[in-house]
Amino acid sequence: MTLTKDQFIRDFKDTLHEEQLIKVPQATPAELFATLAKVIRKYYTPMWLDRNRNLTENKEKIAYYFSIEFLPGRMLETNLLNLGILDLVKEGFAELDIDFEEVKNTEHDMALGNGGLGRLAAAFMDSLATTGYPGFGNGLRYRYGLFKQKIIDGYQVELPDDWFGTLGNVWEIRKDHDAVEVRLFGDVYLEMNEEGNLTPNYHNSQVLRAVPYDVPQIGFQNDVVNNLRLWDVEIPEEYEADYPTVASRRAIEDITAILYPDDSTLEGKQLRLIQEYFMTSAGLQTIIQNYLKQGLPLEAIYEKVSVHINDTHPAVAPAEFMRLLVDEYGLEWDSAWTATVKTMSYTNHTILSEALEKWDAELFKKVLPRVYQIILEIDNRFVADLGRAGYDADVVNYTRIVKDDQIHMANLAIIAGHSVNGVAKLHTELLKEDTLRSFYRLYPEKFNNKTNGIVQRRWTQIAAPELSGAIDQVIGTGWRKDIHELEGLTTYLDDKEVLDNFYQVKQDAKGRLASYIKETTGFDVSTDAIFDVQVKRLHAYKRQLLNVLHIIKLYLDLKDNPDKDMIPRVFIFGAKAAPGYHFAKSVIKIINELAKLINNDDSLQGKLKVFFLENYNVSLAELIIPAADVSEQISLASKEASGTSNMKFMMTGAITLATLDGANIEIKDEVGDDNIVIFGMDKDAVYAHYQANDYHSRDLYESDATIHRVVDSFVNGTIPNIQSEGMEIYEALIQHNDEYFLLEDFHSYVQAQEKVDALYRDKDKWARMSLNNIAKSHKFTSDDTISQYAEEIWELKK
């Protein structure tokens, strides 16, 4: 868009005056933010209208990305950058004497996600708009998102994340006219209608109103605005009288209150199922309605519509789609089925079996009686087909949807869709040869890989402006539009001046993080130390505990020998634990107590510092990641499907310290063995242990003095205030045989850390490695990942 600074200043002042009846000096940062958002909205609204009109007129095929999570973080800077007016607005603000940073920081993170899954979904929204493909998001408008993490006395405490604040979501638009009804519970009877078809009759069901709120997704300087549609729940007017009490109304509001309600109770499970169905049904209803407005035949809907199932949460989609096509629109089963399979596609995000959703059949039948019948029908036909094709009972039993009174949602998504993809090369291979191997035998053509990616604009231009400036100086600004130009940096790997400059940029970012640490914890840290960072959800397979074991070893070494020759280290953690995940919360407590012990011990001479930064989210990631020297990606090989923070760190010049897992392998392939530090068992070694059943952590503990000493410090008082948590960790490692092989990988990890120490001593070498990582990181742009989805799975046109 074209805009001058003067015009912007006029628009801004006028809006502030009209909307808030004040002038700039009286306005609070929040008022300034709200006003700026309104001005920006005026700028992009015409593009948004044009986009929708063009898509309708040209009858373009549209992909709909269904996801229970979206984790965009703050939108202000992204929107400005993508409109091409970020610098102009900053200059305008400077002229008005407004502190842009302060205004920016009043925006609450849009945190409708938990971690990588939601961040990926948000990245895809940005990249779909940027590449110009018609791809829209479909999710839930949670009132409180995940939770806000506070650390109190070392423990994680979960508070509601009131992200609407007093302003609400300044970017969304309520679309009342697109509201639909969603039906739950009750009884359903099939009756013959006048045309002689069986149609369902519902009794005593609950009818809810689903109201969409659309959030614009602005492409990078291309005038494209796509849509992220988030559904909220309301009580339909005609049923108001059914909800006479506050409690009965609140039960409805709960459907969109929080992400991942506690599912340890039956009610909690039911609530999650309702959430998943609610957003899926509402989304599919409007998709079909919009398609039919084009006057095209319903059985050919797959020519204009793709529905993508991101992880299993929206996997009820094929069954609901069948219900709509057959019951509501009268299609024959067979043509509805063909249309469904061609419309649906599915991304698997994990090989951990506990994350492949299964629903108790009784619960499912109670909440979604008609969808349940349809799933049974799909399952029956599937089993009959396999029988006719001569498959043995093993394959049938492994792949069918309904078994042992449970509904296997991944199986439904695979059978009723045309594409199944993993999210990194290794992950897709594991799906084919292990987790989903029977499906791979049945449908080899459905399987494909789409390695995850990141929005480079957010992690460089927004999160790391100094780095971006340094890149401009060396290769010009073309990379800001075409990230593959970063490769040009490889020409300067031996240019001392360039290396020094990038080194300095990293030091500056470390300085900013050091100030934040000082503000939030009171401790000083030196930017001469190695900033060693592990930020991600807390999970046993990600092995934050292995990092802790190493820190304990360093601590014990320093207590034995205060003059130990080592580059000072600052270990930085950020992680939320699922509220019901006891082990993960114990690890958080231990990190905090260990940090307290270490940070207050003057005998360590500042060689060791540990920080757990609370409430890890996208905005905090934007501060932390550009400041990292070392990127900890230390999951047990085979367990991390892809990872995306590994890519963000790489792009901002950290050296990856990693196992051969997920996308770490592809990072290594890009940068070469000399520019990454790899350790530990690979996937084959891990699987060999599973095969031979020959891992005994207690033997390692008994025979290895270092391991023994480190592990004992959880239970012998070395770390204070962790009696029960320390015991829990000890038991996990020794009594329960160390499920994620920490002790086996321990020495290899320690050696890798020693290698990091040695490498960092050679400043030029380190800077060269770092620049190499930045130069090669363009491989992981989500713009390319989404183009592959669009072309290979959804068959979209730009």
CB 650 within 8 A of CB 669: no
| Residue keyed to tokens 């509601």 | 160
User: Is 644 considered catalytic here?
Assistant: yes
* Identified catalytic residue from 644, 656, 659, 718: 644
Among the listed residues 47, 63, 107, 115, the single contact to ligand PLP using CB under 6 A: 115
Which residues within the stretch 154-213 sit at the binding site for ligand PLP (CB under 6 A)? Answer: none
Among the listed residues 138, 645, 718, 787, the single contact to ligand PLP using CB under 6 A: 645
CB of 30 to ligand PLP, least distance (A): 23
CB of 517 to ligand PLP, least distance (A): 18
> What are 518's two structure tokens?
């000082």
Q: Which is nearer to ligand PLP, 622 or 728 (CB)?
A: 622
The verdict on 233 binding ligand PLP (CB under 6 A) reads no
Site string for ligand PLP, 568-607 (x = CB under 6 A): ----------------------------------------
* Identified catalytic residue from 272, 480, 536, 539: 536
Q: Which is nearer to ligand PLP, 543 or 768 (CB)?
A: 543
DSSP 76-112: HHHHHHHHT-HHHHHHHHHHHT--HHHHHTTSPPEEE
> What are 431's two structure tokens?
């799906």
> What are 626's two structure tokens?
């550009």
CB of 150 to ligand PLP, least distance (A): 17
- DSSP lists the bridge partners of residue 448 as 421
User: Is 269 considered catalytic here?
Assistant: no
- Count of residues near ligand PLP by CB under 6 A: 12
The verdict on 796 binding ligand PLP (CB under 6 A) reads no
Q: Which is nearer to ligand PLP, 115 or 283 (CB)?
A: 115
Q: Which is nearer to ligand PLP, 618 or 775 (CB)?
A: 618
User: Is 537 considered catalytic here?
Assistant: yes
Pick the piece of the chain touching ligand PLP (CB under 6 A) from 3-11, 611-619, 720-728, 767-775.
611-619
The verdict on 119 binding ligand PLP (CB under 6 A) reads yes
CB of 120 to ligand PLP, least distance (A): 8
**3-state DSSP assignment of residue 208:** strand
Q: Which is nearer to ligand PLP, 428 or 645 (CB)?
A: 645
> What are 30's two structure tokens?
């929040």
Residues 591-599: contacts with CB under 8 Å, at least 24 apart: 591/544, 591/548, 592/151, 592/154, 592/155, 593/154, 593/719, 593/720, 593/721, 593/722, 594/548, 594/551, 594/552, 594/555, 594/719, 596/154, 596/720, 597/555, 597/719, 597/720, 598/551, 598/555, 599/521, 599/523
Pick the piece of the chain touching ligand PLP (CB under 6 A) from 398-406, 639-647, 732-740, 789-797.
639-647
CB 681 within 8 A of CB 717: no
The verdict on 367 binding ligand PLP (CB under 6 A) reads no
The verdict on 422 binding ligand PLP (CB under 6 A) reads no
**3-state DSSP assignment of residue 234:** strand
Q: Which is nearer to ligand PLP, 609 or 639 (CB)?
A: 639
> What are 159's two structure tokens?
């508070």
Q: Which of 146, 133, 115, 142 is nearest to 63 (CA)?
A: 133
DSSP 273-318: HHHHHHHHHHHHHHHHHHHHTTT--GGGGGGTEEEEEESSTTTTHH
Q: Which is nearer to ligand PLP, 119 or 427 (CB)?
A: 119
Q: Which is nearer to ligand PLP, 89 or 120 (CB)?
A: 120
Q: Which is nearer to ligand PLP, 371 or 462 (CB)?
A: 462
Distance CA 321, CA 292 (A): 14
CB of 634 to ligand PLP, least distance (A): 10
Q: Specify the amino acid at residue 423.
A: V
Cβ-proximal residues to 770 (8 Å cutoff; 6+ apart), any chain: 502, 503, 506, 653, 654, 655
Strands 155-159, 402-403: pairing is unpaired
φ and ψ at 310, to 5 degrees?
-90, 105
The verdict on 617 binding ligand PLP (CB under 6 A) reads yes
Pick the piece of the chain touching ligand PLP (CB under 6 A) from 233-241, 302-310, 345-353, 641-649.
641-649
Q: Which is nearer to ligand PLP, 11 or 69 (CB)?
A: 69
User: Is 542 considered catalytic here?
Assistant: yes
> What are 721's two structure tokens?
């205030």
- DSSP lists the bridge partners of residue 231 as 140, 212
> What are 653's two structure tokens?
């010049």
Which residues within the stretch 531-550 sit at the binding site for ligand PLP (CB under 6 A)? Answer: 536
φ and ψ at 54, to 5 degrees?
-60, -45
What is the 3-state secondary structure of 144-197?
Answer: CCCCEEEEECCEEEEECCCCCCCCCCCCCEECHHHCEEEEECCEEEEEECCCCC
Q: How deeply is 85 buried, as exposed, middle or buried, from its count of CB atoms within 10 A (0-12, 13-18, 19+)?
A: buried
CB of 615 to ligand PLP, least distance (A): 10
Q: Which is nearer to ligand PLP, 419 or 617 (CB)?
A: 617
CB 775 within 8 A of CB 490: yes
CB of 452 to ligand PLP, least distance (A): 8
The verdict on 618 binding ligand PLP (CB under 6 A) reads yes
CB of 477 to ligand PLP, least distance (A): 25
Pick the piece of the chain touching ligand PLP (CB under 6 A) from 31-39, 192-200, 252-260, 637-645.
637-645
CB of 617 to ligand PLP, least distance (A): 5
Pick the piece of the chain touching ligand PLP (CB under 6 A) from 115-123, 131-139, 670-678, 758-766.
115-123
The verdict on 283 binding ligand PLP (CB under 6 A) reads no
* Identified catalytic residue from 539, 542, 569, 585: 542
CB of 656 to ligand PLP, least distance (A): 11
Pick the piece of the chain touching ligand PLP (CB under 6 A) from 111-119, 676-684, 719-727, 769-777.
111-119
φ and ψ at 585, to 5 degrees?
-70, -30
* Identified catalytic residue from 61, 229, 308, 349: 349
Q: Specify the amino acid at residue 367.
A: V
Distance CA 695, CA 320 (A): 45
Pick the piece of the chain touching ligand PLP (CB under 6 A) from 112-120, 320-328, 345-353, 484-492.
112-120
Q: Which of 519, 276, 314 is nearest to 417 (CA)?
A: 314
Q: Which is nearer to ligand PLP, 83 or 454 (CB)?
A: 454
Q: Which is nearer to ligand PLP, 591 or 719 (CB)?
A: 591
The per-residue b/e assignment along 178-195, b for 16 or more CB within 10 angstroms, e otherwise, is bbbebbbeeebeeeeeee
CB of 119 to ligand PLP, least distance (A): 4
The verdict on 116 binding ligand PLP (CB under 6 A) reads yes
The verdict on 456 binding ligand PLP (CB under 6 A) reads no
CB 640 within 8 A of CB 667: no
CB of 635 to ligand PLP, least distance (A): 9
The verdict on 643 binding ligand PLP (CB under 6 A) reads yes
> For residue 570, what is the enclosing H or E element?
strand 569-574
CB 408 within 8 A of CB 415: no
CB of 618 to ligand PLP, least distance (A): 5
* Identified catalytic residue from 209, 418, 537, 585: 537
Distance CA 185, CA 194 (A): 26
Q: Which of 665, 622, 576, 670 is nearest to 77 (CA)?
A: 622
* Identified catalytic residue from 272, 510, 589, 648: 648
Which DSSP symbol is given to 602? G
Pick the piece of the chain touching ligand PLP (CB under 6 A) from 483-491, 588-596, 610-618, 715-723.
610-618
Among the listed residues 471, 578, 621, 719, the single contact to ligand PLP using CB under 6 A: 621
Residues annotated catalytic, as ranges: 349, 536-537, 542, 644, 648
- Residues at the interface with ligand PLP (CB under 6 A): 115-116, 119, 536, 616-618, 621, 643-645, 648
